Amino acid sequence: MLSINPKDIPTSKLHGYLLGAVAPRPIAFASTVDADGNPNLSPFSFFNVFGANPPIMIFSPARSVRGNKTKHTLDNAEATKEVVINIVNYDIVQQMSLSSTMYPKGVNEFVKAGFTMLPSDEVKPFRVAESPVQFECKVKDIIYTGEEGGAGNLIVCEVVKLHVNEGVLAEDGSIDQHKIDLVARAGGNYYSRARDGFFEIPKPLTTLGIGVDQIPAEIKNSTVLTGNNLGMLGNVEQLPTEEAVNNFAKEHSQFVGISTEKKHTFAQEYLQNNDVESAWKVLLIK
């Protein structure tokens, strides 16, 4: 048995042990606005529900281990005292992951990740229209646990309105766990699909993905590619060069001169095998 005093190891290593052992964790896909009304969207897996009367949820945008910076979500919650917690299911997990990229302040992650901004009824932050359940919340309290990198900031929220997509409901009106197809966070690149188990998504933290908003309209409006597919395509730092695409086309002549729909179908097959670069090359063949 490995026994460790938390004070004897670097915070980054302790962080890895904590997230690897305490898992899977539900994901709070938190939408906020700053004092000027600019939207922000970011996922947090230090999250759960803590009561029903009143309905209370708590999530923690921890200070970054690297750099000891606070998250825009925390800054916005302090300024406006409002947040929408959107629930993440498998249909939107790739786009959700893309939104966790450390884009500069002022960048709209809704746009970058290809989500639809849906006005809320009781609070100013927007809802994620693609999320199966959305909770409009008022911030009741913020508990600061420290000032060093990795310290948590517990945002205590009271739900003032919730929205449930009727497509995830069972005949008796309850949420059907198979239909909602929830996703949870684990350690490293791992996530857990509640009904099917673990899968991996490469972290988009070391580079800035181009974003769904930078994908050509013909691809973005595809009738074949899903939101998850677009999330994967948007999570690249740059597109393949024209030379790389041309070389790929010479080696794969079956992709030259085919219809857009077939091209998108072949690209989707590459994406299903996590080969994003080849998918882009197929899509960019002229």
CATH code for the domain of 109: 2.30.110.10
Task: Tell me the residue type at 11.
Answer: T
User: What pLDDT, on a 0 to 100 scale, did the predictor assign at position 204?
Assistant: 62
DSSP-assigned states of every residue in 17-50: HHHHHS--B--EEEEEE-TT--EEEEEESSEEEE
158 and 250 part of one domain = no
- How confident is the model over 203-256, as pLDDT tens digits? 665 668 899 999 999 999 999 999 999 999 999 989 999 999 999 999 999 999
User: What pLDDT, on a 0 to 100 scale, did the predictor assign at position 207?
Assistant: 67
188 and 245 part of one domain = no
189 and 219 part of one domain = no
37: how many CB neighbours lie within 10 A of its CB? 9
Residue 184: closest CA among 175, 176, 193: 193
Query: Does residue 188 belong to any structural domain of this protein?
Result: yes
235 and 189 part of one domain = no
Long-range pairs of 63-67 with CB within 8 A, sequence gap ≥ 24: 63/146, 63/147, 63/148, 63/149, 63/150, 63/151, 63/152, 63/153, 64/149, 64/150, 65/11, 65/12, 65/15, 65/149, 65/150, 66/12, 66/149, 67/149
User: What pLDDT, on a 0 to 100 scale, did the predictor assign at position 209?
Assistant: 87
Query: Does residue 40 belong to any structural domain of this protein?
Result: yes
213: how many CB neighbours lie within 10 A of its CB? 14
User: What pLDDT, on a 0 to 100 scale, did the predictor assign at position 281?
Assistant: 96
Using the predicted structure, report yes or no on whether residue 170 has a pLDDT greater than 70.
yes
CA distance 86 to 261: 32
173 and 136 part of one domain = yes
Query: Does residue 109 belong to any structural domain of this protein?
Result: yes
130 and 251 part of one domain = no
Q: What is the band of 105 on the pLDDT scale with cuts at 50, 70, 90?
A: confident
Pairing of strands 117-118, 82-87: unpaired
Look at residue 126 and give its three-state secondary structure.
coil
At residue 276, φ and ψ (nearest 5 deg) are -70, -35
CA distance 221 to 212: 11
Residue 168: closest CA among 62, 88, 267: 88
Domain holding 95, by residue range, is 11-193
143 and 262 part of one domain = no
User: What pLDDT, on a 0 to 100 scale, did the predictor assign at position 205?
Assistant: 53
284: how many CB neighbours lie within 10 A of its CB? 20
231 and 177 part of one domain = no
- How confident is the model over 43-102, as pLDDT tens digits? 999 999 999 999 999 999 999 888 888 999 999 999 999 999 999 999 999 999 999 988
Residue 22: closest CA among 190, 145, 182, 204: 190
Long-range pairs of 219-222 with CB within 8 A, sequence gap ≥ 24: 219/264, 219/283, 220/114, 222/260, 222/264
90 and 189 part of one domain = yes
43 and 157 part of one domain = yes
CA distance 203 to 129: 24
- How confident is the model over 114-169, as pLDDT tens digits? 999 999 999 999 999 999 999 999 999 999 999 999 999 999 999 999 999 999 99
Q: Give the domain-ending residue among 193, 222, 242.
A: 193
Query: Does residue 203 belong to any structural domain of this protein?
Result: no
pTM of the model: 0.85
Using the predicted structure, report yes or no on whether residue 202 has a pLDDT greater than 80.
no
CA distance 99 to 49: 23
At residue 139, φ and ψ (nearest 5 deg) are -80, 120
Query: Does residue 164 belong to any structural domain of this protein?
Result: yes
Look at residue 11 and give its three-state secondary structure.
helix
Query: Does residue 139 belong to any structural domain of this protein?
Result: yes
Number of domains in the chain: 2
Give the helix/strand (H/E) hosting 272: helix 260-272
56 and 145 part of one domain = yes
Query: Does residue 206 belong to any structural domain of this protein?
Result: no
Alpha-carbon distance values, 246 to 48, 241, 243, 249, 270 (Å): 49, 9, 5, 5, 18
Query: Does residue 167 belong to any structural domain of this protein?
Result: yes
